[in-house]
């Protein structure tokens, strides 16, 4: 066995031990029986068919986004809306949320988007509005209670394209689970607004997910 093989084995063993130590010994359920690549904060390594990596992204690090987008598969950029006002049944973005919305626009400055999808709420539409204006794209609305049709529509219409999808603390994980064919993703904490996922769908059941913080 060469030095490279021994090193890979040592990394896998070390990561497996670390994951067990934080309570992640059980792999995510994957009913498709196919390989799906995942991202999870705080861990870097390989466990079975699951790849776990960490990415911390800043507003000036646009290169990292581009490096994870391919023109040979359909790419979904998936995120929750930015910070919202604390009152109202359909709140708008707060001052912090507007700053984050502009940060998203700057982050995607070098990314060629084919479409932008949002739920029909002020906070989601306002999160992608600066990006939509910069890309000169209309924002299409989707029903967060019916995610499979959206996935099928995008895969059929924008093959090898790049799509931005904004949702909520509960619907964004649900959308990720639909894309990956798993139950890996749980609801986002109410206080978290900085998660951004790049999901590359080579075909249903063969997916790579890169998790950024922005």
pLDDT exceeds cutoff 60 at 8 = no
| pLDDT, average across residues 186-202 | 92
Q: Is residue 33 a part of any domain in this protein?
A: no
Rounded Cα–Cα distance for residues 172 and 186 (Å):
9
pLDDT beyond 70 at 84: yes
Number of domains in the chain: 1
Boundaries of domain holding 77: 57-213
CA 63 to chain CA centroid, nearest Å: 17
CA pair distance 100, 67, nearest whole angstrom: 22
44 within domain boundaries: no
Residue 63 CA to residue 184 CA, distance in Å, equals: 27
pLDDT in tens, 49-70: 444 444 555 544 787 788 889 8
Please compute the mean of the pLDDT values over residues 158-170 and round it to a whole number: 96
DSSP run (H or E) holding 5: helix 3-21
Residue 30 belongs to a domain:
no
In a domain, 167, yes or no: yes
Reply yes or no on whether the pLDDT at 40 is more than 70: no
CA 182 to chain centre: 14
The answer to whether position 125 is within a domain reads yes
Q: Establish if 43 belongs to a structural domain.
A: no
User: How many Cα atoms are found within 13 Å in the side-chain-facing hemisphere of 85?
Assistant: 11
Q: Residue 142 maps to which CATH number?
A: 3.40.50.1240
Beta bridge partners of 197: 78, 211
Taking the complete model, does pTM exceed 0.85, yes or no? Answer: no
Indicate whether 52 belongs to any domain: no
193 close to 83: Cβ distance less than 8 angstroms = yes
Is 46 a domain residue?
no
């Amino acid at each position: 066995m060469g030095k490279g093989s021994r090193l890979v084995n040592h990394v896998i063993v070390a990561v497996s031990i670390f994951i067990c130590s934080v309570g992640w010994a059980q792999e995510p359920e994957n009913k498709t029986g196919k390989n799906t690549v995942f991202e999870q904060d705080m861990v870097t390594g390989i466990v079975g068919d699951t790849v776990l990596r960490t990415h911390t992204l800043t507003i000036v690090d646009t290169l990292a986004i581009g490096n994870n987008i391919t023109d040979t598969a359909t790419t979904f950029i998936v995120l929750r809306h930015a910070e919202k006002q604390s009152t109202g049944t359909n709140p708008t973005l707060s001052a912090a949320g507007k700053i984050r919305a502009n940060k998203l626009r700057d982050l995607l400055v070098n990314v060629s988007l084919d479409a932008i999808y949002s739920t029909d709420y002020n906070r989601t539409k306002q999160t992608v509005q600066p990006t939509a204006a910069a890309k000169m794209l209309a924002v299409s609305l989707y029903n967060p209670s019916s995610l499979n049709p959206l996935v099928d529509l995008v895969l059929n219409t924008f093959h090898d394209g790049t799509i931005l999808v904004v949702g909520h603390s509960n619907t964004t994980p649900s959308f990720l689970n639909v894309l990956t064919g798993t139950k890996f993703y749980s609801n986002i904490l109410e206080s978290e607004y900085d998660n951004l996922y790049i999901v590359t769908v080579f075909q249903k059941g063969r997916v790579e997910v890169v998790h950024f913080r922005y």
